[in-house]
Amino acid sequence: MDEPAIRTEKLGKSFAARRVLTGLDLEVPAGAIFGLLGPNGAGKTTAVRILATLLRPDAGRAFVLGNDVVAQPQRVRSVIGLTGQYAAVDDLISARENLYLIGRLLGLRPRAARARSAVLLAAFGLSDTARTKVKDYSGGMRRRLDLAASLVGQPAVLFLDEPTTGLDLASRNQLWDMIRDLAASGTTVLLTTQYLDEADRLASQIMVIDRGRTVAHGTPSELKSLAGGQVLEVRPLRAADVPAAAAALAGLVGAPRPEAEDGLLAVHVPDEEMVTAAARRLAAAGIGVSHLAVRLPSLDEAFLAITGHRAQPEAAAPALNGVAR
């Protein structure tokens, strides 16, 4: 089992003039939950669609369990499951019919397809509503059914493209538990997400991508230290003291220059002892402080720390090309 479950070599893809993937190298060991983390427009979905044989790459190669996604798409399809960003279930028929349909399309006999559908409905807590039309389902139920639909064929490799976007906290936790169970039973999971938190909780390895290329790769704890560990927020009593406070904090070893917004300074502190050091420096400079707090970095700040620029929403994509802060 030396062959990784998923491997890409310099994967490239453009849509018209927009380069979405620029040489993505990915290696996911079998049985792992691998988090692909990045902002909207980073190329996460494109990477997943190429791996799931829905898109052809312009450059590079991609393999799933050793099968080339371009040369052997049917073999890839027979080992993967895909849960996309939008629950791809048929609204007009029941949950039971949805799973039965997939089972039959996968070549199961009617009896086997019914049985598989019943097992999955029970596992995902949908037995009681199995005959309800999916259009009457809640968002959380749809996502569960969607995940169930991608598991009908008992795939060895599962792609989850932003599986919890738009879900409430309870449904999100429920889905996370299900994903952990799947990985525990040996399924390789490639998960894309915009949430640092989600990648942190689920993935054993995380790759941060931005504008179609890898910007960081490692275990969650490795990435967190890269991202600055924690963020120290300081609000000087007098707004006029902001530059002086910034200068005092900038001298902290290893910390990047603080960002100031509306009189509030935020600085990455990789090491908790720096908080004390920061307080001492402020006191030494004679700066009174009205607010001093430590919090976890947001995705934005992690991004800033790792990539040197802020994560951009997809709407700003045209301006993105070649604009590096």
Residue 268 within binding range of another protein, rule CB under 8 A? no
- Among 24, 26, 42, 82, the residue binding another protein under the rule CB under 8 A is 82
Alpha-carbon distance of 203 to 221, in angstroms, equals 11
- Among 30, 54, 123, 317, the residue binding another protein under the rule CB under 8 A is 54
State the chain's maximal CA–CA distance in angstroms: 79
Residue 112 within binding range of another protein, rule CB under 8 A? no
Task: Provide the minimum distance between the beta carbon of 291 and another protein in the complex, in angstroms, as a whole number.
Answer: 45
Q: Can you give the three-state secondary structure of 99-150, one letter per residue?
A: HHHHHHHCCCCHHHHHHHHHHHHHHCCCHHHCCCEHHHCCHHHHHHHHHHHH
Residue 44 within binding range of another protein, rule CB under 8 A? no
User: What are 312's two structure tokens?
Assistant: 């951009």
- Among 107, 166, 288, 313, the residue binding another protein under the rule CB under 8 A is 107
Q: Any residues with CB less than 8 A from the CB of 218 and at least 6 apart, and which?
A: 205, 206, 226
Nearer to another protein, 134 or 208 (CB): 134
**Region near another protein per CB under 8 A, out of 104-112, 180-188, 214-222, 260-268:** 104-112
**Region near another protein per CB under 8 A, out of 86-94, 198-206, 226-234, 259-267:** 86-94
> What residues between 145 and 164 interact with another protein by CB under 8 A?
149-150, 153
Alpha-carbon distance of 142 to 135, in angstroms, equals 9
**Region near another protein per CB under 8 A, out of 89-97, 115-123, 234-242, 258-266:** 89-97
Alpha-carbon distance of 33 to 6, in angstroms, equals 11
Task: Provide the minimum distance between the beta carbon of 24 and another protein in the complex, in angstroms, as a whole number.
Answer: 18
Query: Pairing between strand 59-64 and 264-269?
Result: unpaired
User: What are 87's two structure tokens?
Assistant: 């629950």
* Residue tagged 């689920």 (tokens): 202
Nearer to another protein, 80 or 208 (CB): 80
| Residue ranges binding another protein (CB under 8 A) | 49, 52-55, 74-75, 77-78, 80-82, 84-93, 97, 101-102, 104-107, 133, 149-150, 153
